[in-house]
A and B are shown apart, each in its own frame.
Chain A
Amino acid sequence: MGRDDRAIMLRSALFVTAGRVLRGPQLHRLADREEGGWHVRTLACDRVVDFDRRQGIHIQTEEDVVFHDGEKFDAAAVKANYDFVKKPENAVTAVSLLQAYDRAEVVSPYVVKLVLSTPDSSFLESTSNVKLGLISPKSLAKGDLCGGGRGLAGTGPFVFESYTRGQSAVFARNAAYNWAPGNAAHNGPAHLDRVTLRFLPEYAVRTGALTSGQVDLIEGVQPTDAPLFAEQPGFKLLTGPSGASTSFTFNINYTRPPADDVRVRRALRDGFDLEPIVKQVYLGTVPRAWSIIGPANPAYNKALVGSWGNDIAGANKLLDEAGWTGRDSEGFRTKDGKRLSIEVGYPQPYVRDNRDILIQGVQAALRKNVGLDLNLRLITAGEYAKNNANGTWVIYPNTDNPSDPARELWDMLGSKGFLYSNIPNPDQEITSQIDESLRTTDPVRKRQLTDAIQKRGVDQAFIVPLFAPSWFLAAKSNVNGLGFEAGLDSPSSAYDFWIAKK
């Protein structure tokens, strides 16, 4: 498999993308997402959809589940996990999912009640998020959570075996495993004895590793390499929806000049023809996006299709109106001697899937069509964290991890979401709509709100959707049981994989 190993080496918040790699095989969540819904991997669950204040979820855990280090998976373990995440000093990014979480009450050894402080329509969905995978309380207490998997004991079908920096991580089968989630194809221990994840950060390198037989499965195949595997003897190519049920978008910080002027933002949104760029970079394998929510998501606002973009004349007019009428020696617009320059700070560890190439294409088009300098800069994770904390970020390109659509919108546009929590005066209209959509228990109203939020986001050009990502898996033809896990941005857990003998 190939996965960007820098994701593992990321900073303090271990649970970020390391989760996808390390936690997938190892850890389980409280609930698991399925096509079109969720499956709560627990037994009795009552009053889940009751959203009065102070209600929560009763969870009864299975009684024979054990962590890899021998600790029992019981109500106390769940409580330990959720409390740990909630504590700010532990610097866990999943804390944003637990906004409404107040406390856990251990009702009996195997029954825990998760109490919410405010109603949260997305909470159940959040519990199925990979970032809330459950770790043995002993591991939590020991605190060696950033050491690359060694200190993580989970309940998953694979146990951590070894880790070589920059090279690989190896997981061995958990022979005691007998509690597969409801959406798995079988129960009992995994088919495979051992799973080795090799970190190969470059497309050509991964492709070459598979074609030469050095690995069995790769993820992240670029479109130009897909013909090597699609319908080729000995290989298979799978296309799956990306786990991210949001599109890849530009999130524009609408409080920072020059993008604080809605005319400038709209000019950016409309100043290029997105379709041929997406088509060229992805060779027609993925569609362009129209909304911040992805087309595969049930909450997608279809009315937005065809409603904006590619109005170059209009964009130029807007910029003239906004006073950007000068031109400098390179052809960019200027106002009072200052160039119309908007920076896209893309953290290097998150660059994947040719997205930087896509942005370069947009950059070139904007330069030619409207004289806007979209300055793409690859920055370090640390610099991004600083910009975020200071509210000084300008454009942040992003797909959000999947969760409930209201929660996703909250995350990206809400007043306490990860982007805007450090920005004074976010847009009142949209943030209040977002907050209401989380509180409301009426699905019709919620749908109305999420539609409105999407529309406003695009209309005000708070976000510029780019494309709806897809994920490619290529494997040797004798690898079976492959699939995509909706909750992860990667292949499904290796639990159901098996390899046919030749």
Chain B
Amino acid sequence: MTAPSHRSFDTAVPLEAPQDLVGFEASHSLAAIAVRRRLPFGLVLSFVFVAFLIAASIAPSLFTHFDPLVGDFSEGLKPPGWAHLFGTDRLGRDVFARTVFGTRYSLLIGFGGVAVGLGAGIVLGIIAGQRNRILDEAVSRLFDMLSSFPGVLLAMLIVTFLGQGMLNIAIAVGIAGIPKFGRVVRAQTQLIRDADYVTQAAIYGLSRWQVFIRHVLPNVLVAIPIIATVYIGSTILIVSGLSFLGLGPQPPTPEWGVMLAESRDVLRVAWWPGVFPGLAITATVIAFSVIGNHLQQRFEGRLA
């Protein structure tokens, strides 16, 4: 039995273990279980939902005629009904419209964060995956160090330096996510460098550099979109958490975390502003997780 480290455990989870809480990694590993038990219906549903999300990000006015930023002041806090599908908030704004328009923020910041983390993680992971023991140790310690800060707190520290706002929390979340991307890429790199065809290429006389560029790198990069999809869900969770705390987009931006924060004062008399944005977040995270893990299962065989 291989020596356990605090970072991995010998279970059915194919990739490195989770290191942050509140669904960061859970979504991917749990969905792995779900997918393996063959829930194609869930998969189809997820695809459809994600397609809808992307459409809502690009052209939200297709789905609603209300203005998410300006409401009718005499229609404040109306419950869900025919006129307003999700009801109205305290300034008379249509909650459904705000939820739909809010999609783009969550997706944008989520993808942005993943991009940042992935970008740095790829570089570091490839370096670590080489046969150089020292480099591997050094980069792995770097990952350990980064992941010893709880994700939320590390993101908050970065926001303290950079200031609030969408771009900054994307960067903060990205940096906090470097370890997990880096470790995956590292594992992938190690897997490929030990593969037969790579060894054969070396035997044929290709230099190490040529082997790397022509064989190792492309196969590592192929995995990237899959990795991104797997982790986008957990990234969206932490992004909306930071927005809820007030560190991301500011009101009146209809970002889901912001909407949930605003809903708290009126919860006693109006449940709808506090329910629907949260549903949106949960559904989005589930959908991406299911898809991501399905992709991961399917392409796992082809990667090595």
Contact between A and B in the complex (any CB pair below 8 Å): yes
CB contact list, A33-65 vs B, under 8 A: none
Asked if B252 is an interface residue, CB under 8 A from chain A, the answer is yes
B51-81 contacts to A (CB < 8 Å): 67, 69-71, 73-74, 76-77
Contact assessment for B251 and A376 in the assembled complex, using a CB-CB cutoff below 8 Å = yes
Check A364–B90 contact: CB distance below 8 A: no
Point out the residues of chain A lying under 8 angstroms from B92, CB to CB.
Answer: 280
Which residue of chain B has its CB nearest to the CB of A207?
B268
CA distance A357 to B251 in the complex (A): 9
Task: Pick from B74, B90, B269 the residue with the most CB of A within 10 Å.
Answer: B90
CB of B265 within 8 Å of the partner chain: yes
Check: A209 CB closer than 8 A to any chain B CB: no
**Selected contact of B265 from candidates A204, A277, A280, CB within 8 Å:** A204
Q: Please report the C-alpha to C-alpha distance between residue A139 and residue B104 in the assembled complex, in whole angstroms.
A: 57
Question: In the assembled complex, how far is the CB of residue A163 from the closest CB belonging to chain B, in whole angstroms?
Answer: 26
Within the complex, which residue of B67, B90, B268 is in contact with A280, where a contact is CB–CB below 8 Å?
Answer: B90
In the complex, how many residues of chain B place their beta carbon closer than 8 angstroms to a beta carbon of chain A? 21
CB pair B91–A280 under 8 Å, yes or no, is: yes
Number of interface residues of A (CB under 8 A): 26
- Hey, which chain A residues are within 8 Å of B74, CB to CB? 276, 280
A368:B76 contact, CB within 8 angstroms: no
Interface of B is mostly: loop
Q: Known contacts A276-B74, A280-B76, A376-B251: does B91 contact A357 (CB below 8 Å)?
A: yes
Contacts of B69 in A (CB 8 A): 364, 367
Which of chain A's residues 180-222 have a Cβ closer than 8 Å to chain B? 202-204, 207, 222
Is A279's beta carbon under 8 Å from chain B? yes
A277-296 interface mask toward B, CB cutoff 8 Å, 1 = contact, 0 = none?
10111000000000000000
User: A residues within 8 A CB of B217?
Assistant: none
Closest to A203 in B: B265
Which of chain B's residues have a CB closer than 8 A to the CB of A207? 268
- What residues on A are CB-neighbors of B91 within 8 Å? 280-281, 357, 360-361, 364
A225 CB–B CB distance under 8 Å = yes
**What is the interface of chain A mostly: helix, strand, loop, or mixed?**
helix
Give complex CA distance A361, B76 in Å. Answer: 11
Q: A361: nearest residue on chain B (CB-CB)?
A: B91
Total cross-chain contacts (CB, 8 A)? 54
Taking each of A204, A207, A377, which has the highest tally of chain B beta carbons within 10 Å of its own beta carbon? A204
B267 at the A/B interface (Cβ < 8 Å)? yes
Distance in angstroms from B246 CB to nearest chain A CB is 8
Q: Does A297 contact B (CB under 8 A)?
A: no
**B268 and A363 contacting across the interface, CB-CB below 8 Å:** no
- Greatest chain A CB density within 10 A among B69, B73, B77 is at B73
Q: Which residues of B have CB within 8 Å of A90?
A: none
A363 to B71, CA, bound (A): 11
Given A360-B91, A364-B252 in contact, is the A224-B266 Cβ separation under 8 Å? yes
Interface check B250, CB cutoff 8 A: yes
CB-nearest residue of chain B to A276: B73
Which residues of chain A are within 8 angstroms of B251 by Cβ–Cβ distance? 356, 360, 376
B264 A364 Cβ-Cβ under 8 A: no
| A328 and B85 alpha carbons, distance in the complex (Å) | 30
In the bound complex, how far is the Cα of B92 from the Cα of A356, in angstroms? Answer: 15
- Nearest Cβ on chain A to B213's Cβ, whole angstroms: 43
> Are A364 and B76 touching (Cβ within 8 A)?
no
Question: Please, which residue of chain B has its CB at the minimum distance from the CB of A272?
Answer: B73
A368 to B90, CA, bound (A): 18
A365 an interface residue at 8 Å Cβ cutoff? yes
A277-B73 contact given A357-B90, A363-B252, A364-B91, CB 8 Å threshold: yes
Closest Cβ of chain A to B128, distance in Å, is 40
Which residues of chain B from 228 to 270 have a CB within 8 Å of any chain A CB? 250-252, 264-269
User: In the complex, which residues of chain A have a beta carbon less than 8 angstroms from the beta carbon of B90?
Assistant: 280-281, 357
Q: Which among A203, A279, A364, A378 has the greatest number of chain B C-beta atoms within 10 A?
A: A364
Q: For A277, list chain B residues within 8 Å (CB).
A: 73
Is there contact, CB below 8 Å, between B73 and A368? no
A224 in contact with B70 (CB, 8 Å): no
A428 shortest CB reach to chain B, Å: 38
By the criterion CB–CB under 8 Å, are A367 and B70 in contact?
A: yes
Are A378 and B73 closer than 8 Å at their CB atoms? no
Q: Mark A358-390, 1 if CB is under 8 A from B, else 0.
A: 001101110110000000111000000000000
B67-A368 in contact (CB<8A): yes
A202 with B265: in contact, given A357-B90, A365-B70 (CB under 8 Å)? yes
Structural contact, A377 and B250, CB atoms closer than 8 A: yes
Nearest CB in chain A to that of B74: its residue:
A276
Contact A202 B250 (CB under 8 A): no
A48 to nearest B CB, angstroms? Answer: 46
Contact present for A224 and B268 (CB under 8 Å): yes
State the Cβ distance, A467 to closest chain B Cβ, in Å: 14
Also in contact, A368 and B70, with CB within 8 A (given A281-B90, A361-B91, A363-B252): yes
Please give, as numbers and ranges, the residues of chain A lying within 8 Å of B67 by CB-CB distance.
368
For the complex, what is the distance from the CA of A364 to the CA of B93, rounded to whole Å?
Answer: 10
Residue of chain A at shortest CB distance from B69: A364
A–B complex contacts, Cβ < 8 Å, 10 sampled: A204-B265, A204-B268, A276-B73, A276-B74, A277-B73, A280-B90, A354-B265, A360-B91, A365-B70, A376-B251
List the interface of chain A (C-beta within 8 A of B).
202-204, 207, 222, 224-225, 228, 276-277, 279-281, 354, 356-357, 360-361, 363-365, 367-368, 376-378
Identify the B interface with A (CB < 8 A): 67, 69-71, 73-74, 76-77, 90-93, 250-252, 264-269
Please name the 10 residue pairs, one residue from A and one from B, whose CB atoms are nearest each other, closest first: A276-B73, A364-B70, A280-B73, A368-B70, A280-B76, A224-B269, A203-B265, A361-B91, A277-B73, A360-B252
Known pairs A224-B77, A224-B269, A228-B268 / 9 extra A-B pairs, C-beta < 8 Å: A203-B265, A222-B265, A276-B73, A276-B74, A279-B73, A280-B92, A363-B252, A364-B71, A364-B93
